[in-house]
Every structure is written in C-alpha cells, then in structure tokens.
Amino acid sequence: MTALPAPVTVAILAVLESSGSVVYGMYDLFLSAGRDWGLIAEGRPGPQLMQPLLVARASGIMQLSNGVPLTPHATLADCPPAAIVCVPEVNLPPGTPLGERFAPEIEWLRRRHAEGAVLATACSGAMLLAEAGLLDGLEATTHWAWCDVLRARFPRVRVHEQRALVVTGEGQRLVMAGGGTSWLDLSLYLIARSVGVEAAMQVARLNLIDWHAIGQQPFARLARTRQVEDAVIGRCQTWIAEHYAEPNPVRQMVRLSGLAERTFKRRFQHATGMSPLEYVHALRIEEAKQMLEAGDAPIEAIAGEAGYEDAGYFSRLFRRRVNLTPAQYRKRFGALRRSLARGGTP
C-alpha cells in the first residue's frame, strides 16, 4: 500500500485583535480538506490533507476581539515549520499604528517568508505584510477601509481595492484577500493550490461556499452512494458506478444480482435508502455536475454522456434535483473551479 503524503501544515496566526469567526473558520476549512468528503460520500473519513495549527505570541488562553477564547497550539518561538502561514484580520480602527503593536508577529512573518512559506492574509491582515516590508513594489489588496491607509503609508505598494484576491511576490508566495467573508475565497484558493482543485471544490460544496446564498441543493453530493454491507447489492453498486450511462441499467443490475426483480428492488431500497432507479438518476446527475464544472461541452452532449437520450428530460430532472438548470450550474460552479485552477484570480 502506497503511503499517503504528510498533511500540509498551515500556521494560523492569532492576535488579540482577531475575530473568532475568521480564525476558527479557516481552521475548520483546512481541517475539512480531504477528510470530510469521504465521511459524507462513503461513510468514513477520507485522508486528512492539511494540518492547521493556531499560533500566537504567547501560550495559554487568550480572548479574541469578539470575546471568543482561544488556546494556541504553539507560540511564535516554538511553531514548527509550516508551508503556509495565514494572517486573519486585525480588528482595529483604520489608521491605527500597527508596527510597534505587532512587532513580534511582523518579525516572525519576515522569518517565515525568508524560510520559503506562503504568507496569506485576510482582510486588514495585509497591513502586517506591508509593515514587514514584504509588499514594496508589489500589488496588494486589503479591506476597503484600510486601502487608503495602505497607499498613504506604503506608497510603493500598488493597491487594488476592487480585487477580492491578489497573488504576488517571488514564487507567488504572498496571497491577500479583501474584506468581509473573502477569507473563504482565500481558504479555498490555498486548499486548491496546496492539495488540489478537487479537494477545494469538495470543501466548497460541503460548506455551502458560494458567491450567493442559494440554499444547499447545488452542493449536495450523493451521500447515500456509500458501499453497503449487503454483498449482493454492493456488487451491483460497484457495477453501476462504471456503467451508469448504459441503457436499462436497473434491469442489468437485477440480472447481475441473480435475484428476483421484486426481491432485488426491496433489498436495494433497504440497503441504500433509494430505489434502484433513484440511485441511477443520482449517479448520473453527479457525473453531469462534474462535466458541467470541468468543460464547455453542450448540454445535449452531457445529457448523452450521462445516459439520457432526451436532453429536455435531463434538464428538467437536473433542475428538479439541483434547484438550478444545467446552464446555471455551469455558470456558477464552473467559474469557481476555473478560478481555483488558475490560482484564484477573478
């Protein structure tokens, strides 16, 4: 058995002026990568692809800006090597002097960057990179309320207040997200960059991360396709996973099972929670989602690839199950996948 690679270590810098939602939100998303998709889709956790660590100036319980308590895993002095260092926002009035206040953290960021780590900031956290002298001559973004301050204090920095994500510097090792919930975009980008686009897409679906609130149906992956204990039904699941597009798939599964049709359907329903036909439709729709995300093939072609001769029927079924038309799904999630694949640049 091939040994799995070690999880990518991500150090999340926490300061008293951070908010709990951003610090713990990043922590949860990184911890979810790889692990939680298997739990939903197959009934068991997948491999943990990233290992986040909470890092602070000192050990012991600290209280973040919104009163949320946090106990760091490591201090600046004893933090192990990390491929990625994340800096959440600095929740202070725009223009507050930061250099002296965060001198230990700024020096730590300089060292980590010199050691080769990717430094990623959310919101006003980019100000600490500027204070460290790491943004001179480079593009940057930060929370809109801090953009004028960044320009005034660091005139050599090219500030792009309209951009939600900026990736710059030697080796593209400086990554900045803008204000508000853009830390979600930042986290997805870092997951895609370090462990793969598909892992980032899985995290996006599981956590309902989208540019607009549309409910959870478009993110719903087929949780009940997990392999079951009934060996006969499990064999049929394995077969249909490769042959879902064939004509009359339920009839072929009945033949493969060796059971009477009524008995097969009853056992299949009991084992999976779905009728055989519902199961086939669910597999086909999931495969269609992947094709819609990954390419520009016509809807009619995708319908055929998924096993539907009637593209109109496919589109109606897709909309009923996903709450979006195939074209709407492609526009929304295809754009997300392409953005992650090319490095998160809008």
Give the domain-ending residue among 182, 209, 236: 209
Q: How high is the pLDDT of residue 224?
A: 39
**139 and 97 share a domain?**
yes
In sequence order, the 6+-apart residues with CB closer than 8 A to the CB of 192 are 199, 200, 340, 341, 344
Q: Answer yes or no: is 86 within a domain.
A: yes
**34 and 118 share a domain?**
yes
- Structural domain total, the chain: 2
**230 and 205 share a domain?**
no
**182 and 264 share a domain?**
no
**131 and 230 share a domain?**
no
Q: How high is the pLDDT of residue 220?
A: 33
Please state, in angstroms and rounded to a whole number, the distance separating the CA atoms of residues 335 and 346. Answer: 9
Per-position pLDDT tens, the chain of length 346: 556 789 999 999 999 999 999 999 999 999 999 999 888 877 888 999 999 999 999 999 999 988 999 999 999 999 999 999 999 989 888 889 999 999 999 999 999 999 999 999 998 999 999 999 999 999 998 988 888 899 999 999 998 877 778 889 998 899 998 877 788 888 988 998 899 888 888 898 888 776 433 322 333 333 334 455 788 998 898 898 889 999 999 999 999 999 999 999 999 988 887 899 998 998 899 889 888 887 889 999 999 999 999 999 999 999 988 888 999 888 877 766 666 666 554 4
- DSSP assignment of 223-287: GGGS--S-HHHHHHHHHHHHHTTSSSHHHHHHHHHTS-HHHHHHHHHHHHSS-HHHHHHHHHHHH
Q: Answer yes or no: is 3 within a domain.
A: no
**32 and 174 share a domain?**
yes
What's the mean pLDDT when you consider all of the chain? 86
- Residue 314 C-alpha from the chain's centroid: 28
Q: Answer yes or no: is 238 within a domain.
A: yes
**38 and 129 share a domain?**
yes
In three-state secondary structure terms, 119 is: strand
Q: Answer yes or no: is 218 within a domain.
A: no
Element (H, E) at 139: strand 139-140
| Beta strands 158-159; 139-140: pairing state | parallel
Q: Answer yes or no: is 2 within a domain.
A: no
Q: What angle do CA 229, 280, 306 make, to 5 degrees?
A: 135
- The CATH code of the domain that includes 74 is 3.40.50.880
* 10 close to 190: Cβ distance less than 8 angstroms: yes
Token pair 């930042």: residue: 186
**205 and 227 share a domain?**
no
Least Cα distance to 251 among 233, 271, 235, 265 occurs for 265
48-107 confidence digits (pLDDT tens): 999 999 999 999 999 998 899 999 999 999 999 999 999 998 988 888 999 999 999 999
172 DSSP assignment:
G
State how far the alpha carbon of 325 is from the alpha carbons of 208, 314, 329, 332, 334, in Å.
Answer: 18, 10, 6, 11, 13
Q: How high is the pLDDT of residue 339?
A: 66
**57 and 123 share a domain?**
yes
Q: Work out the burial of residue 298: count CB atoms within 10 Å of its CB; fewer than 13 is exposed, 13-18 middle, 19 or more buried.
A: exposed
Give the domain-ending residue among 148, 183, 209: 209
Q: Answer yes or no: is 176 within a domain.
A: yes
Least Cα distance to 129 among 110, 156, 155 occurs for 110
Q: Answer yes or no: is 214 within a domain.
A: no
Give the domain-ending residue among 209, 237, 261: 209
Range of the domain at 237: 223-340
* 104 close to 123: Cβ distance less than 8 angstroms: no
332-343 confidence digits (pLDDT tens): 777 666 666 665
**201 and 237 share a domain?**
no
**189 and 247 share a domain?**
no
**118 and 68 share a domain?**
yes
- The CATH code of the domain that includes 324 is 1.10.10.60
292-303 confidence digits (pLDDT tens): 887 889 999 999
Residue 152 half-sphere exposure, CB side, CA atoms within 13 Å? 9
Q: Answer yes or no: is 346 within a domain.
A: no
* 105 close to 17: Cβ distance less than 8 angstroms: no
Least Cα distance to 134 among 101, 196, 85 occurs for 85
